Amino acid sequence: MNKLRNYVRELKQSGEDIKIPRQTQESDEFPTPREITELKADIIEDNGEFGIKTVEITQENSGFAYFLDGIERKKILCYYKSVPLIYGYVAAAILGRTDKKMHSIGLEKSEQNFYVIDKTFENLEINTVKISDGTPMLPDQYIKAAHSAIQTSRGNLEHSLIRDWIKAGYEDGWLFVDGRIEKLSKDITSGQNIVGIIKSHQACYFDFEDQYKIYSMKKGERSSVFQPEKENVYSWYLRLHYDKNYGNNEFGLIRVEVPAEKEYLEKADLISSWILLETKPIAFPASRWDRMIYPIKYCEDYLKSKAPSYKGLSL
């Protein structure tokens, strides 16, 4: 950052067109674009008829003993000739839980890059990622492309940790993944005790009538299990919390992913009950506490404690 800070100051002093956004705490992160994608899926239980059912909790304790989460930080550092210079930091960790206490198992990774559009900053010996192949881009297009690249880096880190966890042979509990497992190859997930949890719902698999049934679910209810088209996972929706006065269709609503194998289909209710058990204690004051469990909040706080501060990213 010092090298970059001094270089940007030199460019500015020499008359180059550089604008630095005003410092405003964490709101300096540029907003995440949200696009809804309509996809197809096959219902694989309940004789192919979409339905809602109540999950019964039959065990006192959850079967999850490992938890994976990742974070990303992104910031526009300056504008050089109207094009943003963007900083991106990603990190991920798998933490274990023993006797109700969270702890490191040595599986954590991080990386930071500067996302650029040309060779202007490459001589600083900092990690740069070129977004453009030389084709001119408008600033908003560039920001969207950088956002996508940062998300891809985070996903790659998380998936590499899952592979490390499998290689290490942890067999004393299931792995709770905050995110999708669909992008992992079937060879990796087959036979593994891994469950992915999706808290944001950009994909829509059903028509309005069935989607309304999902939005109308009460706490402790789940949808029929379905398989998204061309994906190697089984999935279902589960409501962790319900508040009719909250005014948000997605309040407390998550989507669960497991490997597309019969043994996991038969455990849909059991896995759902484990997730419901994990809702105590509540993960408040996390911004999405209604869709987050406490061990994932712990992972997030753990990663944030090791991340670069926003103050250190000012030019």
189-245: pLDDT as tens digits: 888 999 999 999 989 999 999 999 999 999 999 999 999 999 999 999 999 998 766
Helix (H, G, I), strand (E, B) or coil at 91: strand
- Do the beta carbons of residue 131 and residue 146 sit within 8 Å? yes
118, pLDDT greater than 60 = yes
**Over residues 171-178, mean pLDDT:** 94
Tokens of 172: 């004393």
**Over residues 102-115, mean pLDDT:** 96
pLDDT band at 187 (very low <50, low <70, confident <90, very high): confident
End-to-end CA distance of the chain: 8
What is the Cα–Cα distance from 150 to 146, expressed in whole angstroms? 6
Pairing of strands 253-259, 194-198: antiparallel
133, pLDDT greater than 80 = no
What is the Cα–Cα distance from 140 to 83, expressed in whole angstroms? 9
pTM recorded for the entire structure: 0.88
pLDDT at residue 16 in the model: 86
Tokens of 2: 């010092």
Helix (H, G, I), strand (E, B) or coil at 65: strand
H or E element that contains 229: none
Nearest to 256 by CA among 298, 209, 196, 166: 196
Radius of gyration of the chain from its Cα atoms, rounded to whole angstroms:
22
Top pLDDT among 261 and 26 is at: 261
Helix (H, G, I), strand (E, B) or coil at 203: strand
pLDDT band at 33 (very low <50, low <70, confident <90, very high): low
In the block, which residue shows the tokens 């061990």? Answer: 295
Pairing of strands 101-116, 128-130: parallel
Tokens of 94: 């798998």
Question: What percentage of the chain reaches a pLDDT higher than 70?
Answer: 94
40-95: pLDDT as tens digits: 999 999 899 999 999 999 999 999 999 999 999 999 999 888 888 899 999 999 99
